[in-house]
Amino acid sequence: MGVIRHLRKPKILTTIQTMSEKKPLNIGLVGYGFMGRTHSNGYKRVNDFFPDVEYRPVLKAICARNEERANDFASQWGFESVETDWKALIARDDIDAIDICTPNDTHASIAIAAAEAGKMVLCEKPLARTTEESLPMVEAVERAGVANTVWYNYRRVPAVTLAKQIIESGKLGKIFHYRANFLQDWTISEELPQGGEGLWRLDAAAAGSGVTGDLLAHCIDTAIWLNGSISDVSAVTETFIKERVHTDTGEKQAVTIDDACLFHCHFANGSLGLFESTRYARGHKALYTLEINGENASIRWDLHDLNRLEYFDHSDESTVRGWRSIHISDGDHPYLDKWWVPGLCIGYEHTFVHQVADFLSSLSSGEPCKPTFRDALETARVCDAVLASAAERSWKDV
């Protein structure tokens, strides 16, 4: 494959739609933070690298309360217009899809209003703060029959997608164990306030929960996708710093998010799961790791080395049997025929380009772009069960 890719002739232009032939999909993005940038980059890059998709995202409007900063964002990223009220954005006839990149407490109202207005809805993870808040969102998009997806982007790291394909091929056999970590260290300082830009993640009113909804939700989404449903959980949470100044009030207020969360669980397929997440693991910035052990083979993956998949196959000849470290960069690997040539890497931002490509393809095929709101509801249920288990110090069914 590698040689073929190096030698491949350029495709004849007539087989690819020109940009003007593609169907425009007018995007209204709400929120210009870190996630607003990752999504915008996805929309901008997708047609360059996925020429087969029939749609062409148009950065029609950016919406945020701070008009000056929204204008700056629009100029930098190439949005055609600015709105300061998401209701006005949703009311516009020239917007096809609303993309929600705001703090978690705003997801439900924006998504429900967008669906009711007949707009497609793309929502940053987690779907909302709780299952209770998430369910009406699922009902709204399903009632309206609008395309929807949640940006659990790590599914679309090529190595993780390959893990899914290997598991589905049956190579692992019966699964015994699934374990995942998501470790960070950015909230260790007591001086860090809660609330406000970026720091809303420390404020339970805005975020819903701490590491459970912010980080473990990623691990849970991937776990359900790779290994099926989680049946019950037993969890421990800790809040290491009990009070922080709130950005809005300037006063010290109780911290009510979970700073760290550990849980173990049963999967419906009979395997055991072990999960850990914290923002207090000094030295770890975004160490998302996962491992799955089956009777015949095992797989492990690490976000800090995202283009590698480690694979152990017990059926290998015993003298050379061992963990293989597979560099996921070949055109045979998921998504990678769209990028460079074998041996050259892609990164974090590409996962968002992949999600846009899959979303646009889903509009052509009519197949949902996973995870849908309903898929993300299952993750919300597990998060709620985890938090309830920790609060009540008991096992909880999902």
Give how far the C-alpha of residue 16 lies from the chain's centroid of Cα atoms, to the nearest Å.
30
DSSP conformational letter for 236: E
Output the smallest distance, CB 110 to ligand SOE, in A: 18
Kindly give, in sequence order, each residue whose CB lies less than 8 Å from that of residue 373, ignoring residues fewer than 6 positions away.
111, 121, 123, 127, 134, 137, 138, 141, 142, 148, 149, 150
Residue whose CB is less far from ligand SOE, 281 or 286:
286
- Determine, following the binding rule CB under 6 A, whether residue 203 of this chain makes contact with ligand SOE: no
345 in contact with ligand SOE (CB under 6 A): no
Q: How far is the CB of 339 from ligand SOE (least distance, A)?
A: 21
Q: From the CB of 34, what's the least distance to ligand SOE, in Å?
A: 6
Kindly give, in sequence order, each residue whose CB lies less than 8 Å from that of residue 39, ignoring residues fewer than 6 positions away. Answer: 29, 99, 101, 122, 124, 151, 352, 356
Residue with the CB atom nearest ligand SOE in the bound state: 214
Considering only residues 29-58, where is the footprint of ligand SOE by CB under 6 A? none
Q: Residue 214 CB, nearest distance to ligand SOE (Å)?
A: 5
Q: For residues 376 and 368, is the Cβ–Cβ distance under 8 A?
A: no
Quote the least distance from Cβ 272 to ligand SOE, whole Å: 25
- Taking the complex as a whole, the smallest distance from the CB of residue 200 to ligand SOE amounts, in Å, to 10
Report the residue number, 104 or 271, with the smaller CB distance to ligand SOE. 104
Q: Is 214 in the site for ligand SOE (CB under 6 A)?
A: yes
Cα 60 from Cα 41, distance rounded (Å):
14
CB of 396 to ligand SOE, least distance (A): 24
Nearer to ligand SOE, 214 or 258 (CB): 214
Q: Which is nearer to ligand SOE, 113 or 211 (CB)?
A: 211
Cβ proximity to ligand SOE, 184 vs 227, nearer residue: 184
Q: By CB under 6 A, what part of segment 181-200 binds ligand SOE?
A: 184
Instruction: Give Rg (Cα) of the chain.
Output: 22
Residue 99 vs 214, nearer CB to ligand SOE: 214
User: What's the N-to-C CA distance of the chain in angstroms?
Assistant: 44
Residue with Cβ nearer ligand SOE (311 or 373): 373
Place of tokens 């985890």: 386
Interaction of residue 384 with ligand SOE, rule CB under 6 A: no
Total interface residues for ligand SOE by CB under 6 A: 4
CB of 133 to ligand SOE, least distance (A): 18
Whichever of 56 and 218 has its CB closer to ligand SOE, that residue is 218
Among 241, 286, 287, 345, interactor with ligand SOE by CB under 6 A? 286
Handedness of CA 56, 147, 99, 118 (dihedral sign): positive
Looking at residues 165 to 184 of the shown chain, list those that interact with ligand SOE (rule: CB under 6 A). Answer: 184
Contact map string, positions 215 to 254, toward ligand SOE, x by CB under 6 A: ---x------------------------------------
Nearer to ligand SOE by Cβ, of 218 and 333: the residue is 218
* Shortest CB 54 distance to ligand SOE, Å: 29
Listed residue (338, 362, 298) closest to 163, CA to CA:
298
Cβ nearer to ligand SOE, comparing 287 with 388: 287
Residue ranges of E strands in the chain: 23-30, 55-63, 81-83, 97-100, 120-124, 148-151, 175-183, 230-238, 243-245, 252-254, 260-267, 272-278, 287-294, 297-302, 308-313, 324-327, 396-397
- We find the least distance from the C-beta atom of residue 124 to ligand SOE, in angstroms, to be 8
**All residues at 6 or more sequence positions from 267 whose CB lies less than 8 Å from its CB, including other chains:** 175, 178, 223, 227, 228, 229, 230, 231, 273
- Examine residue 126 and say whether the peptide bond preceding it is cis (omega within 30 degrees of 0): yes
Residue type, 146: V
| Spatial separation of the C-alpha atoms in residues 340 and 214, rounded to whole Å | 32
- Residue 180 near residue 169, CB atoms below 8 Å: no
Contact residues toward ligand SOE (CB under 6 A) are: 184, 214, 218, 286
